[in-house]
Amino acid sequence: MRAEDLLPHRPPFLFITEVLEVAPGQSATGTWHLTGDEAFFAGHFPGRPTLPGVLMVESLAQLGGVAVLADPAYAGKLPLFGGIERARFRRQVIPGDILELEVALTRMSARAGKGTGRATVNGELACEADLLFVLVDAVA
């Protein structure tokens, strides 16, 4: 499955290269391959390109969106950030790294949900966060 099959996100704001596994409404795993060609590396930081932490959290949220939208119960919905809790950044992520993503949904209702995400590089923790989201109609 491709992230684009479920998410409305498109480059340059799609931060999932591969969706590896999905348990609809429960969890998902995937990757983001950082090539170094991404525009943000040029300015963050010149001479020491580093993936911004907020984009790591966004990639986890996008993968969580895949898990939500793979569940037919949420067809026609769009998960939007409601909050980010306990976000921690443990490792610098640089061009050439493959960010390994995993998200587990811990609470779901018809209008909102909560999940927890982890991003690693070569098994080393780069980021973890609790994600809160609200569900809105995909088309206004």
In this prediction, residue 139 carries a pLDDT of: 86
What tens digit of pLDDT does each residue of 70-94 get?
A: 999 999 999 999 999 999 999 999 9
pLDDT value of residue 73: 96
How large a percentage of the chain has pLDDT more than 70? 99
pTM of the model: 0.97
Architecture per CATH, domain 3-137, reads as: Roll (3.10)
Burial of 74 (0-12, 13-18, 19+ CB in 10 A): buried
Domain ranges of the chain: 3-137
Ranges of residues in the chain whose predicted pLDDT is under 70: 140
Strands 98-108 and 27-33: antiparallel
Residue 92 has a CB neighbour count (10 Å cut-off) of 13
CB neighbour burial string for 97-114, b if at least 16 within 10 angstroms, e if fewer: bebbbbbbbeebeeeebb
Which positions are annotated as active-site residues? 44
